Amino acid sequence: MEVPPLDRDTALASEVALAKWLDTWVRLVLRFRLSSIALIAVVTAIAGALFLQVEVRNSLRYMIDESSERGNYYYDTREIFGSDNVMLLGIEDDEVLTAAFLEKLRRLEKALEAHPMVMEVTSLGGLQRVGSNEAGAMEVRPYFPEGQSDAERVEAVAALRADGMYVPGLLTEDGKGTAVIVRLVGDTKADMKRPGVKSAMLATAERLPNGRLLLRTDEGRASLVDTARMFAVPDLYDLVAANGFDVERLYKTG
């Protein structure tokens, strides 16, 4: 099939029309140059103000389907803990109640709590109870302190089960499963003032496109803390592995 030749007259007419329009536009801008500059400045200022009001939402509650199985678990977790700023590590091991394993849990607690994005860690290793000393005064002491004898540990396990508050949450009925609950920094102003959080927030701002703009508003800073918390999770798993736990075998959220 023969292709008809291009209509050069039509193309030329379009180019001429475009050139005339551009010439008219340039002359208009040059004629009212001050007004044009002022208009551009106003439009830029309005666009910048609108950009600062943009809210970056990276919390899981905006990303998952509430009706899905994962969604049900997520919202159940929020109902239990009151927040999504929680990591839960589930551990199954026949040695959970041995002195060596409890010592390993204590080391893990200290390592995790040293991270700037961690508020608090709860595990069997450092779990405390309220009791009375020899003088009859009330005191708070750990269930499983360092140097505890086998007989004392058996008594502590019995007391833990009798309390009922931590079974099966921190200790399964068969004594072969436990959990480590890691409460992470939230996006409140008080949390943002904690040592190390500001540095993490600034580092996160450098990693994000236009991240420094988020530092100008409370909502932006809260978003940066949320993102910094998300970035911290792999580091926390590295700490778990460094303290002798096989991360791949753990039940984990967060």
Q: Edge to edge, what strands does the sheet with 118-122 contain?
A: 118-122, 177-184, 86-92, 251-253
CA torsion 148→149→155→156, rounded to 10°?
Answer: 20
Q: Where are the domains of the chain?
A: 60-246
Q: What is the pLDDT of residues 16-58, one digit of tens each?
A: 787 788 878 778 777 777 777 888 888 888 877 776 665 555 4
The sign of the torsion formed by the CA atoms of 144, 147, 149, 150 equals: positive
CB atoms within 10 A of CB 45: 10
Q: What is the pLDDT of residues 95-117, one digit of tens each?
A: 999 999 999 999 999 999 999 99
Contact 179, 123 (CB under 8 A): yes
Predicted confidence (pLDDT) at residue 173 exceeds the cutoff of 90? no
